[in-house]
Structure 1
């Protein structure tokens, strides 16, 4: 699909409108900061916004965009930056909430494109009529680890097995502390190198029966199943595995990590386990 290089919303032209007329998907063109440069009426309708609000970034007070766990979606600037740095597509589920109630469920595909010499992100929105397809968005493009969707699925399976077998499931969250400051000081390329190195360490340091996933922009997650214990030993093993100094570029770097863990017998929801782990991580 051809797109038009548009630098400001005021420069929308009939050519752009002609390109997307009749499409049944929502289309947005953004710059590297997530600023929407052009869109269509379908996108505005799916987002439960006026087209002018989409272009200007204005959002009603009762409007929210959340992921399928109920957590707030990352800012579009973060998503755009991730797609452009990785150079590969990203797919995420999205729930539009108005007045505290879910109004629409969407599937968002982000594609890095070059338009007249400029880096842009093409965002396609489609309504989710059934369950999110398991063949999309499973793998994080930067690290090659399972992404959030696959993590949620495997956590649910672990909780079910714990309930049925009388065992335990532990979720460990690993936060790369002050990653934004590292990116500002050393550049996003070095930041991505730090994340991929940590991902490789976690994947190699864990046994095959444990799930290692990328939970967010600066967070990893590990799911472990075990017959007894509190999960503290698992969390400490993960901290030691990931916390050794590493060489990034020409620098020797010791990553600053924060680790939290939650152990359950399976009589808990996926959302409650994640929420508890996130709360402990912040404390």
Structure 2
């Protein structure tokens, strides 16, 4: 799909309407500050707003947008700036809540584009169906936890909030030591049972404000936001949650977990935070 120079949209409105009227997705174009420059009716309907509200930035009383964990999303200015700085697409689930109306679940894809030499953000909105997380590979099929793709998005949102609010983000990387040897001795079914049990412990032992994700074959990641202080105490809490003995079949097994953690004020990038946590973990192997 071509992108129009929406700075002259007043002359091109018929062309714009003709292009987007047949699309089955919501379309928005914003500037670097998050100001909506152009949109279509589907986007307004998905956002539970009038098109004029989208264009003017008006938000009715009782209208809220959150991520699928219930945490408030950064506003479009912050998201647009992040996408343009990174120069790469970003995707995020959104939940639209408005007083007196059912919640609307949306998947938003953000793309940095150049329109006649100007930096713009193209946002495509689609309703979230029940299987969207699995079909996009966002949910780990074994544990039901967010997978790597969704983790990266959640971590990015957490870093944005930390920068904007003056808070901290702590990422804890958890390695299940000796999983390959365990699988060789007891079989992959028992190994899968170990992982699902551990995933359940982490999810149940932490609050909905924490992101618990499957990062790799034998690794999990937990992301927490807090006002101050180092993340060492939280990392130890995560280790204790997962380290209790468990019964697998008829045998009692105590998992051996190795943990590393990184705390940042949000000014580090997603990949630098993960790389530092991985490096610290490997140093102790």
Q: TM-score, normalised by structure 1?
A: 0.55
Q: Which runs of 5+ in 2 are unaligned?
A: 139-146, 159-172, 175-192, 211-215, 246-257, 265-285
Equivalence map 1:106-145=2 (5 Å): 106-134=106-134, 135=136, 139=148
Structure 1 equivalent of residue 197 of structure 2: 161
Instruction: Tell me how far 1:211 sits from its aligned partner.
Output: 2.7
Instruction: Tell me how far 1:227 sits from its aligned partner.
Output: 2.0
Structure 2 equivalent of residue 273 of structure 1: none
Instruction: Tell me how far 1:73 sits from its aligned partner.
Output: 1.4
Choose the corresponding residue for 1:148, options 121, 141, 154.
154
Per-residue Cα deviation, 1:98-138 (whole angstroms, up to 9, x for no partner): 11764311111111111111111000011112133243565
Say if 1:84 and 1:121, in contact at 8 Å, map to a contact too: yes
Separation of aligned partners in 1, 2:57 and 2:43? 13
Q: For residue 74 of structure 1, give the secondary structure of its aligned residue in structure 2.
A: coil
Structure 2 equivalent of residue 37 of structure 1: 37
Q: What count of residue pairs does the alignment treat as equivalent?
A: 196
Equivalence map 1:1-283=2 (5 Å): 1-7=1-7, 13-99=13-99, 102-134=102-134, 135=136, 139=148, 146-148=152-154, 161=197, 209-212=218-221, 224=239, 225-227=242-244, 238=261
Say if 2:137 and 2:149, in contact at 8 Å, map to a contact too: no
Q: TM-score, normalised by structure 2?
A: 0.55
Give the number of the structure whose alpha-carbon radius of gyration is greater.
Answer: 2
Structure 2 equivalent of residue 231 of structure 1: none
Separation of aligned partners in 1, 2:69 and 2:27? 24
What CA RMSD, in Å, does the superposition of the two structures yield over aligned residues?
Answer: 4.6
Per-residue Cα deviation, 1:161-199 (whole angstroms, up to 9, x for no partner): 259789x9568x99xxxxxxxxxxxxxxxxxxxxxxxxx
Q: Which runs of 5+ in 1 are unaligned?
A: 175-206, 229-233, 244-283
Shift of the 45–7 alpha-carbon distance from structure 1 to 2, 3 Å rule, reads same
Q: For residue 91 of structure 1, give the secondary structure of its aligned residue in structure 2.
A: strand
Instruction: Tell me how far 1:29 sits from its aligned partner.
Output: 0.2
Shift of the 164–96 alpha-carbon distance from structure 1 to 2, 3 Å rule, reads closer
Separation of aligned partners in 1, 2:50 and 2:41? 8
